[in-house]
Amino acid sequence: MQFTQTDIGIFVVYLIAIAGIGLWLSFKDKQKAAEDYFLAGKSLPWWAIGGSLIASNISAEQFIGMSGSGYVVGMAIASYELMAAITLVIVAKYFLPIFIQKGIYTMPQFLEQRFDKRVRSGLAVFWVLLFVFVNITSVLYLGGLALENIMEIPLIYGIIGLAVFAATFSIFGGLKAVVWTDVIQVVILILGGLMASYLVLQAIGGTAFDGFVSLLEKAPEKFDMILDKAHAEYNNLPGLSVLLGGMWIANLYYWGTNQYIIQRALGAKNIQEAQKGTVFAAFLKILLPLIVVIPGIAAFVLGADIGKPDEAYPWVLNNYVTTGFKGLAFAALIAAIGSSLSSMVNSTTTIFTLDIYKPIHKDASDKQLVYVGKIVAALSLLVGIIVAPMLGALDQAFQYIQEYTGFISPGVVVVFLFGMFWKRTSANAAFWVVVVSIPLSAALKIFTPETPFMDRMGFSFLILSVMIIAISALENKTADAKAITLEKNLFKTSNMFNIASLLIIGMLAAIYALWW
């Protein structure tokens, strides 16, 4: 990729500025208390929460992975973004009030309050392994792939560079440094991403609007939101199951129980700020297909000369983004990678320190906990550097992430839903769901390989739901001793929240009606 001095200057200034701000925030406030390091002192306003949610969520797996899937599948892959918008509304209204009322730091901590230490420890271990070996490694790999394709930096050096960049504000500053750098990065992410889409559409049609119309005319099949069984990618996006089946499980898991996402809301000033921030993120999710899917479709229409789909977005940057904007667009990609990495690392350390280390070392001081958190952050990045290059054989990395996260997500969603909303759910029932979850998902993959992974998630969810109901019904004839009491007005929300939620639902209904 041909970078001018202007592009390089913009890119380098951005990297130095973000790393500098992150380090300044880290050492400006000596975060000795665990609440300061892991939950930003519970001081976050709504706009910081919403911006950080999106910055943490959007990474190389979207810019590179989802654009690659857009190249192959089209707008149908955007269902992950669009369905997430309505999921965020549900999480804000029904999940956050319970979590914040409980005053928790981590998701496993909630599970101990509701069930017992076995459930907490089991899922804590699963989450740490998932974050390190799936999330952190895949983001490092996709980011390194982008650096290799765009700047011809060898993959391993790109991976190391990204890990060092993320380390500057994720190891030393805790959640506060991560969130405040996210606020800056989400602005660059959206501006740079929109600019890349605008320029490639302009190249296709003379204006961005005409370019979009041209995409609709030249590749109408790429705008089918619901795929039929004859489609080559049906196994990844199985028709109506996207709207009615497994994708709900993936989204409820990710947005409602995933530590590195929900941690932002847990750090809010109060429940109102958490809910406003979450619904703000929902609006941004509806915008994101323009940034992460349209470039992939454009690359298909333009006949991109690429070796595999995940090279579509770098190809667009290389060929259609002009001087100056190229540096900004590439900075947006690095912003997305850096913010997601730092969020994943921070949450890995939070769960390990508070849910695995602290229960064993009960007398550990806040200073010791923060120190352990920093060590684990460094180790998780080191493991990511070692494992990430092994993902090079993947074709569409985004689908890999979704499928293998789906091994744990049905069990997690079952445990949380029944734990929060059915008082008879017992600790033993939750524990056995945790134990059986991964083997069940693996068995379904081995014995029903022809079944789409999203449908397998749905089947797993139903089987585990029957299990938790059966065991709980045998053990508890009435409410469990640790059942959650849902107080009157707990789920009451402001008029502004309700109006925003209706707008989001209306926008989603219009999109699916238009491109059904």
pLDDT tens for 131-146 read: 888 888 888 888 888 7
Residue entry with tokens 């280390």: 357
Q: Is residue 478 part of a domain?
A: no
Domain count, the chain: 1
Evaluate whether 238 touches 454 at the Cβ level (below 8 Å): yes
444 pLDDT higher than 80 = yes
For the chain, the distance separating the N- and C-terminal CA atoms, rounded to the nearest angstrom, is 38
Q: Is residue 264 part of a domain?
A: yes
Domain coverage including residue 194: 5-14+51-405+486-514
Percent of residues, the chain, with pLDDT higher than 90: 31
What CATH number does residue 220 fall under? Answer: 1.20.1730.10
- Tens-place pLDDT, residues 51-88: 888 877 777 667 777 888 889 888 988 888 899 999 99
2 pLDDT higher than 80 = no
- Tens-place pLDDT, residues 271-304: 899 999 999 999 999 999 998 899 999 999 998 8
Q: Is residue 421 part of a domain?
A: no
Q: Is residue 509 part of a domain?
A: yes
Report the C-alpha gap between 275 and 91 in whole angstroms.
Answer: 9
Q: Is residue 103 part of a domain?
A: yes
Give the chain's mean pLDDT. 85
Q: Is residue 278 part of a domain?
A: yes
Report the C-alpha gap between 162 and 416 in whole angstroms.
Answer: 34
Q: Is residue 232 part of a domain?
A: yes
CA-based nearest residue to 182, from 40, 331, 343, 290: 343
Q: Is residue 142 part of a domain?
A: yes
CA geometry: angle 388, 394, 395, nearest 5 deg: 140
Report the C-alpha gap between 306 and 292 in whole angstroms.
Answer: 17
